[in-house]
Structure 1
Amino acid sequence: MKRNLFCIISILFGIALFSVLSSCTPPPRKRPARFTPKACVECHVQEQKAFAAAKVVHAPVKAGKCEECHQRHGLVGAVILTENSARLCYTCHEEQKTRFAQGKPHTALVDAGGQGVSCTRCHDPHAAEQKGLLKKTGNALCFSCHEPALFTQGETHIPSTEDCQTCHDPHASSEPDVLVRPVRELCRECHDLQDPQLRQSHGGYPVQETNCTGCHTPHASTGPKLIRKHAHPPMTQMGCDNCHLDPQSSTPFQTVARTPDLCLSCHQEPGEGGKEEVIHAPFQTGDCLLCHDPHATDFPGQLVSQEKTMCLSCHADLEKEGDVPHPPAAERCTTCHNPHASSQGSLLRRAEGELCLSCHKDTGAELEYRNLHPPFAGQECTACHDPHGGKDKTFLVSSFPALCYSCHQDKEEEFTRVTIHQPVAAGECKRCHLPHASQAESLLVSEPETLCFTCHAGMRSRSQEETAHPPFQEGECRLCHLPHASDTPRLVTATGTSLCLDCHGDLLQGESMQSVHAPVKQDCTACHDPHESPVGAQLKQREQELCLSCHASLAGRMKQPGALVHAPAAQGECTVCHQPHESPEPHLLQASLSELCAMCHDETEPQAVKAHGGFQVQDTLCTSCHTPHVAQEEKGGLFHPVVHKPFAGKVCEACHK
């Protein structure tokens, strides 16, 4: 019993001691995190200082909450916003989202894709010296986009010099030109439109019922009273009643007559009394006000808008995005077109060619050249050129060679042949041909004898050599070559020997010949250079080298040690014995064998008779004993390698009488 009690007391004491010791031991330290993100300002120190020094600091920047707008980018610098465009700004400025949704946004704020609004066009997203974080103060900010001269010329509307926001909302509006209110209401805020003096200055008409900007510019004008630059004379001369009913009538702004009769009472019909065959549709229907403003405008001719813009409102198909515009089409359509009526098609001011050449005078001078392209001769410029614009400054209606094929359809099929001239294959017709006119035939850019050498310049020096082929020397390349395409190699006009025989037909007698040289049956250029060679007869190599290039086995025998070579062969004069083209004799021989040998060897000479054992051999066949080209020297006499034993011992009488 005592022993058990002792054990229990010992255990309790041990537990108590462990508890005391444990309480004295410090707690284990936490291992620091391996990566601790830095605050943005730890790297962007200079930027933060600049922002803090500004008068107005964006609230998130001031609070150091960069990540409300930006995502972290790590070591590589980048601007990564949490949202794109104005959506980011709307997260705080939700009231602006409603304003933009209810009206048309200020065009300066619409981003490049037209999909949203870019607040940073006007506002600095971090800090600025101006209220509202604006990048500039007052009108200076507006003038960073809008040309200042248009708002400061001549007589200036006071808000234009003081504060654009008097009339315009900088963000969005349901009114045109982001006006804060409708035009009439806006003008009434400063001007009493029912003031008798104001009414008197407007001819007594009740102008409170009109749109002030129909006559007055809201910004600045070079004329008095902010009248727009181009004003209708009756208006500036207080002759309103020339067109309108009396100001005291119940309908003072009703016109005294309908258009076009009203307009034509002052404006004579354009052209020859309006009898032109082609009449502009609005003019024909008397809808003058579709193009013209009857009071005042900022555009010449009292047009309702800038000329090109106005024309494209009906003729939108003529504006090709990305094309190079014809300068008149880019600036003033009426440079070429009469806006009312014309005796020419498409309301042109003159006949097509005459109109084009009135500007393109250098091209007009080409009408005096010897050879004219038919469309150019007929002054049908639009057969090839688009008068409004094109893919490049030539304004062609289609690209090469499709444009040329539209008339030269036979050539398109021709150009599918096996061999095609490189400029043709590349569709570069103008490498060789001029499009309008030329002093050379076929509208070539230069005379045929020089044209080919513009590309084949390396051959020009060869053409000057005395040994040049006459057609090549005289630049008559087309005598042998086709200029566009051919079914034969090198664009030659015919295949094989038929091309050469057109000129050199006398060289061959045809079927009466017993032997014909193989190249003559196939291709003359196997032996002859068709252009030029320093070797006679335009041979590609010297005579012996040329012949042995095919007769390789003979060449090998001639080079063997101890070879005895027949003198003409040794001297490279193959044609002493052989015809190069054809012969009535076998092996292309120049004459019968007995006649041929007798040309050099007098077989009746005593020494020759003695060498032949006293026999008369002039009527025998020399090649029955002798080889005509080469033999082994040890045998002498150019004998065949295998010899009859009596013949070898010169015992001819053993067989012959």
Structure 2
Amino acid sequence: MTKKVSFQRRAGILLVVFLFIAFAGLIRANSLTGGNNPPIGEDAREMSTPDIIMIDLPAIPGGEQMPAVRFFHDRHTDALKGKSCNECHLKKDQSYIFKFKRTKDSDTETDMDIYHTNCISCHTNEDKAGNTAGPLNGDCRSCHDSKSEPISTWVPINFDKSLHYRHESSGYLLSKFNTEGVNCGACHHEYDKATEKIFYKKGNEESCYYCHKPTATKEASAIRTASHQSCVGCHQQLIDVSEKTGPIKCAGCHEKTEQKKIKVLKEVPRLKRNQPDTVLLASWTLLPGTTTESAKKYMKSVAFNHKTHESNTANCRSCHHDTLKRCGDCHTETGKKEGGYVRLEQSMHDKDLEKSCAGCHRVQQEASNCAGCHEMIAEKSFRETACDKCHSVDLTGEKVFPIVKETKEILARQELIATQVALPPVPDKLIPQEVTIDIIKDKYEGAKFPHRMILRKLEDRIKDSRMAGFFHGDNLTLCAGCHHNSPASTQPPKCASCHGKTIKAANDGRPGLMGAYHVQCITCHQKMNIEKPAATDCTSCHKKRI
């Protein structure tokens, strides 16, 4: 009995010691991760943050490769308590270089020593001062943790027209180039290969993405590096002189909830870049040897309203995805390397390419004001498309080729004015005010369908859409949203003309009448974000029969 008690006592002591060690380890781990900050190890799987930077130096030949370090940038920024970027980043030519404690990469051993010496030294100093600190010397796996899988919530920021104008009109942006009183040269520049220096040329401004690609090239840094050095560096310089500016933390630009806090201007003046108001899309007019006779072999040209499209896109890159040159400079009739061998016809008509005209229009049809009808309308094949809706400018009457730019702009403007004719709405007397749908009433009474009110509501929702106004072309087009396979008419056939009373679908896929009504109405409500009546609220449309 005595031995048994002694054993139980020893087991109890061991249990207490074990719990104490475990508790001490938990405190230590919590300290290493910064208290309430995102955890490391297994618990990090449940953590999400936009500020993860992977520190992964090239492997040393013949050496053991440690797992990459997941560095939480915003956590460290907060720990600096208002100190500037120069705590970790050096400057070159008065600009921050966003590498850690160096202006350029060296060999792996040198860079690794920079990280270890400076990171551990900072953590040690913080620990001695009684502050929450990161891993200390010997805590290798606290940083090099292959099991840690935090979820990055990083999202790109859209430098849209509103943000662009706020920077363009700011009184704080000062260019080192002579930019005639404008801010453009503070960000925009070109690269001189001969002198290996950057310079600014007014009127040649282009998107940063055109030169700064996802990965660095011989002549330009990666877009991520260039953006941070330019944007964050400028913001920090303004903070240093106590001026109000944009964010310097990762979340400020790359976290969804923070992005929603960015002020958006309702009215943004047109971007000034010598662009035309109207364009005549007719690349073939520039081909050598083009004559009045050879012009007959080409499609009619397209009058393109450049100014209107500018106001309906986020920025120039929405269409000019790789350069601000004409589409036909890279996308030729037969295709070439500069355009990825995408032919001009494909670049305009391929519905699977968001940068193409047809592809962009297809995306616009998914908007709530459009999707209610377009979701249920079968997509036409290419051969069924009315080409002359866009290809409407006949140039066979022109005597001189190539046609000069000014003449093409005039021709495009004239065509656009001629086609911008507002169509009168269908008169009320031709639209039934209410339609009773009771042909299949059984458990429920017939539905009272407010026909005229719904049509007028659809008209109201698209009245400001110039795209709808152009492509609908007929004041009866909206009727096709429901009467989708019959000729446009103020007296279309009943739904029962094509959809039978039987529940079973026809051999060609047409649903029965009940299915047709419910799919058409419910899908329209869902796509147009109409909450009432709900799809499951049967009696809102037809009363239950007693």
TM bracket (short chain) = under 0.3
Q: TM-score, normalised by structure 1?
A: 0.23
Q: TM-score, normalised by structure 2?
A: 0.26
